[in-house]
Amino acid sequence: MANLPGAHWGFVLKPRQVGIKKVYIAGGPMAVSSEAEAETRAIVCPRNPADPNCVQRHAGADRYGTSVAIAAHHFPSATNFVAATGVNWPDSIAAGPFAARRGAPILLSETDNFDEIPSRYMVSKLAPGNRGWVVGGPAAVSAAAEWDFRSVLPK
């Protein structure tokens, strides 16, 4: 079990005691190795590690696509959206409670433009009353990227 980070050893030792029955992996094998996924399956679902409902991976071609894969699975009826930088993680992590309170997925943005993959996802969900928020300052999400994001929202 050397592939799991040391911070997770409490989870490894007593997963059922803390009530974990399902795990979502965010990112492809370059972000979270297949070995770590297999180890997680063995720990969380020891009776049937192949159970697709026990451990689920949500991944796109890159981090922007992964944010859409997560949004599509966990927020199929999203009407609100939060944009945060995909270049550096603190803003997107800090946006979690804000987005959760609004039932909104976090869609990752490049610093200087709002990526095409999240834009297409938003367009597929557009309806009157959709709202969006940008988290982070202009060094994280530039004015141009914010304009890209807001231009997709209904007027």
122, containing H or E segment: helix 116-125
Q: According to CATH, what is the number of the domain 63-152? A: 3.40.1010
Tokens 């909104």: give the residue: 104
- Sorted by where each begins, the domain ranges of the chain are 6-58, 63-152
pLDDT tens readout for residues 119-150: 888 888 877 888 999 999 999 999 999 998 98
pTM of the entire predicted model: 0.83
Residue 30 makes CB contacts below 8 A (sequence gap 6+) with: none
Parallel/antiparallel/unpaired status of strands 55-58 and 23-26: parallel
Q: Give the closest residue to 40 by CA, choosing from 56, 17, 19.
A: 56
**pLDDT (average), residues 39-62:** 89
